[in-house]
Structure 1
Amino acid sequence: MHYRRDIDGLRALAILPVLLFHAHVPGFGGGYVGVDIFFVISGYLITGIIAREIDEGRFSLVRFYERRFRRIVPALGLMILVVLGISALLYLPGDLEGVPRSALAATLFASNLWFFTDTGYFAGGADVKPLLHTWSLAVEEQYYIGFPILLMVMARIAPRWRTGVVLIIAAGSLALSIAMQRDTSGFAFYLLPARAWELLAGALLALGVVPALRVRWLRELVAWSGIAAIALAVGCYDRGTLFPGIAAIAPVLGAAALIHSAPGTSAGRLLGWSPLVGVGLVSYSLYLWHWPVIVFTEYATDMAVAGWTCVAAIGWSFIAAILSWRFVERPFRDSQAMPARTIFRFTGATMALLCGLSLALLAAGPWPSRFSPTVLAQAAGRNDISPERKRCHDIFARSAPPCVLGAAVPPDAMLWGDSHGVELAYALALEAKAQGRALVQRTTSSCPPVLGYDDPKDARCAAANRAAFAALRADPGIRRIYLAAFWANGDFDEPGFVARLDRTIAAIRAEGREVVLIGPVPPQPFDVPRRLAHLARAGQQAQGEGVVRSWVDGRTIHLRALFARWQARGIRLIDPVAALCDGRHCAIERGGKPLYFDSHHLSVAGARLVMARGG
């Protein structure tokens, strides 16, 4: 296969949106589709090589995996090694333990399986997963375990059916991806069955399923349409887009259109522009290094990269990528300097070393001796959660009966809400138990207690809210309803949503029940226990302060506009902002205890403070 500069330019068109998306650069909300473009390119190039060698009777699985190891392992192994070292120096207990697990999975090309099992609501955010991006490499390598064998088998038993079989598998994978696009488990995102069609789209091009375009103007049209499709996805998609599934079709077809039609066109000349080709040449190393650079920068500063830190992170990503390409990728691709036997030995030794280091770090556990007792005490705030969280939260999804907390008596109250209500329910239960009372906890992650709220990505919310309202109607003994949610998340402060909340309150009152609205918890721009631990490590714990109060008020302006009216109607209001904030800033710790266990969920200490002062 002759070298095509435009494909290296297309690689740049894939990696740059990914980099800028992860660096939070405005205008690149859909930059994650660059991974899908990489899948198409890989499927096209690798299938072209495999099919040609099979047709010529000279394909060898050993030689194929030798090429894969040359391409993938050296730079990946170095990156994992550096990530393990920096994590051991930088990460606090509670954050460190996940890194060697993911390193072990990445070394064995199974990180997509690991992250699929680790996608729970509180499994730890992407900001503590410096190897999260290796999921896509795992998908590719799992694909290339079976795909060459499929082509070999087809060549032997039914060569004329080769393209048809690949087309059927691709169609099935696409259908699965679309069918599961609303699934919140991560299956469609992380696992090969719902991603294979993207690699197979490139494979079908290489197998000649699409006839060549002979007319120049048509090639120009198709090529520029491909660029437009990619640009549309990068610019118009965001984190809220249902993806993959139907939305993945645009960038995949866009990449396929460019691969098929770009040569000899103005779009092809654009992709062959030297700066783009240069970025494309280092795109693999840039993909490997950019994510750890951003994650470690944000972890060390307790802030998302922005401004000069964003520029610095992007700059260091390019420096690391260029050095990796020059001194790692290129030498190992030289078959004269590095014969096949050397590559296989190197791969085995690298995987053994990384597995051994990962297992050693796992055996060391949280390794608390790296930090002082003061630092550890602040970091331990992440564990100040309701002891009933695991048992009582998200019970609707498990079809389990709701938890009754407090005294062993019939409940006279219900807390209805999302995950923000869990620790508040526990704080209320402590008070209720002391009074010989009990309450029911009905909390569902990311589902505010608002009738008519229907998250397009999660059908649980509407059903869970209907079930909660039906339960309170069916139990006349429940006289008081507490409503709690992440009201300040930025999505719930719009007039339509607030109007639905108003109607929900009216519906509860129409049942003759008392309503207690627990207002917005001020979200912080950092993980609070981690921030306090970092300050303690630097001897600056007294400087810890939270978000500016005016920012919280502005973020909930439509909701707060109704507070006075609701109170005039006899609705009790518990306002965490009033409990946690002074005239300027909102507190993040009291008496040496973090008031949050992450960036926006109150710890038990925080919940008890709010309930004690807010009533």
Structure 2
Amino acid sequence: MTNLYSSHQTYRPDIDGLRALAVLPVVLFHFGFPGFFGGFIGVDVFFVISGYLITGILARELRQGNFSIVRFYRRRAIRIFPALFVMLAATTVLALFSMLPEELKSFGHSLLATSTFLSNILFYNESGYFSADAHTKVLLHTWSLAVEEQFYLFWPLVLALLHARAKSSVGWIAGIITVASLLFSIWWLSVDPSGAFYLIPSRAWELMIGALLAVAPALPARHRLLREFLAAAGVLAILIGVKFYNERVPFPGVAALLPCLGAAAIIAAGTAGTTLAGRVLSWRPVVFIGQISFSLYLWHWPVVVFTQIGLMREITWPIRIAQVLLSLLLAVLSWRYVEQPVRVGTNGYSDKKVFGGAFAAMAATLILGVTFTVSGGLPARYNEQQLAVAKFESYHGDQLYRGGTCFIVDGQGRFDPQLCLGQNQQQLKSLLVIGDSHAAQLWPGLHQVATDYNVLQATKTGCRPSLSGKAIEQQSSCEQFFRSILTSWLPAHPVQLLILAGRWAPEDLPDLTATIALAKRYAQTVMVVGPIPQYASSLPRVLVRNEGHPDRIASSVVNGPFILDPQMRGLVTAAGAHYFSLIDNLCHGRACRTLAAAGVPMQFDYGHLTEQGSVVVASMLLNPAQSVAKSAVVGMR
């Protein structure tokens, strides 16, 4: 391989345009704009760009004999620290005034991790189906910065060592590292999806693709058609990922190749010469978005989180548009008055002054993080009654619902038929509940209330029990799981009561009739539990923030379940099954029961039941006479 250090580092407006193509899908995805469900791939595009640009700079300096690891980290500090720590300061002030104790304590943890570029490890350790709502993790987006900085702890040193000892092998060794990391990412995704998403071993290959571009020979300039094809294909690959990827696509792994190779194709084509796609990406408004992309990425997620925390109601289109405009405004201000002045103003500063300022910012952030953590989130800001409710923010739902055995959480754990479907022969009747987490939440209550039943459970996160008519090879893992229960286990173990429950969506309705018909073959009674009342924010936060204002609590109730409930009632009844309406039993209009007992919320997040809440619902389900008309509790009283 020749021309190993063709770093191509003249300014390229098309790469700023590519940054815009990366950041805008991320922002619009996080703000809930339809058509951008795969917007998360923008982060992968950023990784490729970063690997290309920084490796190009390092390669040029090594070639010229003026490489300095100190100068490298000085540039990183000037590039990253100012905007990052201004954002951290602003979010800290807002967190003090808006977060519950457990949330502020968690924010303290993330301050510690973010200021030391370990937040990806923190959020990996906190990952789980019932971990704190992502919309309370103000610094969740900094995981990608941590991945980058961890990569740049070792890659400059590896590159310098290879340059000194094996210059002719740089490209091949970089290729081996890339392939090894990609293969590890594919394997790890099947074993630990959260680890594959957050941690550097399974993400390094994305930065290495950019690094390979920087040390590889450029395309011959005369191949115009090849350049045009590569650039157009690269843009199309990224747009396809943005449009058609979603949370159900296993990621990163093989799926991340699409945006990464797309970004690489655009960069490679632009290195060889101009292209039509490159000219579009070089359009001044697009370039400007790319120039402010770092600040836009930093600020947009705090806007998402604090809007959710502050409003505690469904996000409407005017609110979404306002969020985008506010994020753009903050990004422009950050770029104009923080990023740009620091880059220019520190040219004459000594290394000691630059690193001293960086360490001072880190130290101040660490002190705040320790304060929030050690104090338990400054609980003195709230009264005893509020604290009793607020503590449910850190409720362990997966443990309560038998996560890892009878409730398979995000593909982790192994379903245990002997434990979950084993029948006590002393009980003559059996009750089986199947579905997703909204079915698993019924188990604690049924286990306590249905004492004359064998209470059996087959539940899996994100899997609503609605079976399609697709061929076996086209069925999802969810459908295969439930179909095996209904067609293999149930015929040999008929039950008296089969309960289907889930976080129902309108698209489930067409297949629900056939699912009920299949279930009725081997169950004496089939009951479908309708959608539970849900909230735009976690119920404990809604109760604490709106203490004494039941009208405000009602305004936090999400509209969707109220629309879906009567539709499901009609369909289920027509199919010959029993329908249990949680809306009817827990709500009067939009005023829904919020407490299972004094100081104990019905739900610990947007909609999952606490243990006491599950007992309340199970009692109603098995004894319809216990209606909300006699036991409604609205607000904190």
State the match for 1:161 in structure 2.
169
2:43 aligned with 1:35: yes
Describe the shift of the 1:111–1:543 C-alpha distance in structure 2 as closer, same or farther (beyond 3 A). closer
2:206 aligned with 1:198: yes
Unaligned runs of 5+ in 1: none
2:79 aligned with 1:64: no
Query: What secondary structure sits across from 1:219 in the alignment?
Result: helix
Alpha-carbon distance between aligned partners in 2 of 1:184 and 1:558, rounded to the nearest angstrom:
38
2:303 aligned with 1:288: no
Describe the shift of the 1:540–1:581 C-alpha distance in structure 2 as closer, same or farther (beyond 3 A). closer
2:421 aligned with 1:416: no
Describe the shift of the 1:575–1:83 C-alpha distance in structure 2 as closer, same or farther (beyond 3 A). same
Describe the shift of the 1:475–1:407 C-alpha distance in structure 2 as closer, same or farther (beyond 3 A). closer
Letter aligned with residue 104 of structure 2? L
2:604 aligned with 1:589: no
Match for residue 130 of structure 1 among 121, 129, 138: 138
Alpha-carbon distance between aligned partners in 2 of 1:500 and 1:177, rounded to the nearest angstrom:
36
Aligned 8 A contact 2:314 2:556 in 1: no
Mapping 1:87-486, distance limit 5 Å? 87-182=95-190, 185-209=193-217, 211-262=219-270, 263-303=273-313, 305-334=315-344, 335-380=346-391, 382=393, 389=400, 391=402, 394-395=405-406, 397-398=413-414, 402=419, 412-417=429-434, 418-433=436-451, 439-449=455-465, 459=477, 462-463=480-481, 466=484, 479-486=495-502
- How far the C-alpha of 1:162 sits from its partner, in A, is 0.9
Letter aligned with residue 504 of structure 2? A
Alpha-carbon distance between aligned partners in 1 of 2:376 and 2:424, rounded to the nearest angstrom:
38
1:442-491 C-alpha deviation (Å, 9 max, x unpaired): 44333345678999998477457746986666768xx4344243142455
Alpha-carbon distance between aligned partners in 1 of 2:530 and 2:115, rounded to the nearest angstrom:
46
Match for residue 34 of structure 2 among 26, 31, 34: 26
1:223-248 C-alpha deviation (Å, 9 max, x unpaired): 22222222222233233333223332
Aligned 8 A contact 1:415 1:421 in 2: no
Alpha-carbon distance between aligned partners in 1 of 2:591 and 2:424, rounded to the nearest angstrom:
33
Aligned 8 A contact 2:401 2:441 in 1: no
Aligned 8 A contact 1:428 1:611 in 2: yes
Aligned 8 A contact 2:296 2:328 in 1: yes
Q: Which moved more, 1:199-208 or 1:520-529?
A: 520-529
Describe the shift of the 1:18–1:455 C-alpha distance in structure 2 as closer, same or farther (beyond 3 A). farther
Query: What secondary structure sits across from 2:554 in the alignment?
Result: coil
2:585 aligned with 1:579: yes
Alpha-carbon distance between aligned partners in 2 of 1:340 and 1:456, rounded to the nearest angstrom:
59
Letter aligned with residue 229 of structure 1? A
Match for residue 92 of structure 2 among 67, 84, 98: 84
Letter aligned with residue 540 of structure 2? P
Alpha-carbon distance between aligned partners in 2 of 1:28 and 1:387, rounded to the nearest angstrom:
30
Aligned 8 A contact 1:402 1:441 in 2: no
1:17-70 C-alpha deviation (Å, 9 max, x unpaired): 211111112332222121111111111110111112122222121111111111
Describe the shift of the 1:174–1:210 C-alpha distance in structure 2 as closer, same or farther (beyond 3 A). farther
Q: TM-score when scaled to structure 1?
A: 0.87
Letter aligned with residue 428 of structure 1? L
Aligned 8 A contact 1:407 1:432 in 2: no
Alpha-carbon distance between aligned partners in 2 of 1:299 and 1:548, rounded to the nearest angstrom:
14
Letter aligned with residue 230 of structure 2? V
- How far the C-alpha of 1:382 sits from its partner, in A, is 4.5
Alpha-carbon distance between aligned partners in 2 of 1:26 and 1:49, rounded to the nearest angstrom:
38
- How far the C-alpha of 1:359 sits from its partner, in A, is 0.9
Alpha-carbon distance between aligned partners in 1 of 2:201 and 2:16, rounded to the nearest angstrom:
27
Query: What secondary structure sits across from 2:499 in the alignment?
Result: strand
Alpha-carbon distance between aligned partners in 2 of 1:97 and 1:149, rounded to the nearest angstrom:
36
Alpha-carbon distance between aligned partners in 1 of 2:503 and 2:224, rounded to the nearest angstrom:
55
Letter aligned with residue 607 of structure 1? S
Q: Using the aligned pairs only, state the percent identity.
A: 36
Describe the shift of the 1:322–1:519 C-alpha distance in structure 2 as closer, same or farther (beyond 3 A). closer
Alpha-carbon distance between aligned partners in 2 of 1:458 and 1:361, rounded to the nearest angstrom:
43
State the match for 1:611 in structure 2.
618
Q: Which moved more, 1:1-10 or 1:240-249?
A: 240-249
Alpha-carbon distance between aligned partners in 1 of 2:423 and 2:448, rounded to the nearest angstrom:
6
Aligned length, in residue pairs: 600
Aligned 8 A contact 1:393 1:422 in 2: no
Letter aligned with residue 608 of structure 1? V
Query: What secondary structure sits across from 2:519 in the alignment?
Result: helix
Alpha-carbon distance between aligned partners in 2 of 1:548 and 1:348, rounded to the nearest angstrom:
45
- How far the C-alpha of 1:100 sits from its partner, in A, is 1.1
Letter aligned with residue 502 of structure 2? F
Alpha-carbon distance between aligned partners in 1 of 2:474 and 2:387, rounded to the nearest angstrom:
41
Alpha-carbon distance between aligned partners in 2 of 1:242 and 1:388, rounded to the nearest angstrom:
25
Aligned 8 A contact 1:487 1:520 in 2: yes
Query: What secondary structure sits across from 1:413 in the alignment?
Result: strand
Aligned 8 A contact 1:384 1:597 in 2: yes
- How far the C-alpha of 1:163 sits from its partner, in A, is 0.2
Alpha-carbon distance between aligned partners in 2 of 1:174 and 1:521, rounded to the nearest angstrom:
41
- How far the C-alpha of 1:343 sits from its partner, in A, is 1.3
1:186-233 C-alpha deviation (Å, 9 max, x unpaired): 122111222222111111111125533423343233222222222222
- How far the C-alpha of 1:109 sits from its partner, in A, is 0.9
Describe the shift of the 1:385–1:412 C-alpha distance in structure 2 as closer, same or farther (beyond 3 A). farther
Letter aligned with residue 5 of structure 1? P
1:487-521 C-alpha deviation (Å, 9 max, x unpaired): 42455x24235423431342x33xxx554443332
Q: Which moved more, 1:128-137 or 1:152-161?
A: 152-161
Aligned 8 A contact 2:228 2:275 in 1: yes
Aligned 8 A contact 1:404 1:440 in 2: yes
- How far the C-alpha of 1:598 sits from its partner, in A, is 1.8
Describe the shift of the 1:532–1:282 C-alpha distance in structure 2 as closer, same or farther (beyond 3 A). same
Q: Which moved more, 1:279-288 or 1:301-310?
A: 301-310
Query: What secondary structure sits across from 1:137 in the alignment?
Result: helix
Aligned 8 A contact 1:516 1:572 in 2: yes
- How far the C-alpha of 1:410 sits from its partner, in A, is 5.6
CA RMSD, Structure 1 to Structure 2 (Å): 3.4
Letter aligned with residue 582 of structure 2? P
2:536 aligned with 1:544: no
Mapping 1:509-524, distance limit 5 Å? 509=523, 514-524=525-535
- How far the C-alpha of 1:286 sits from its partner, in A, is 1.2
Aligned 8 A contact 1:227 1:254 in 2: yes
Describe the shift of the 1:554–1:308 C-alpha distance in structure 2 as closer, same or farther (beyond 3 A). closer
Aligned 8 A contact 1:394 1:444 in 2: no
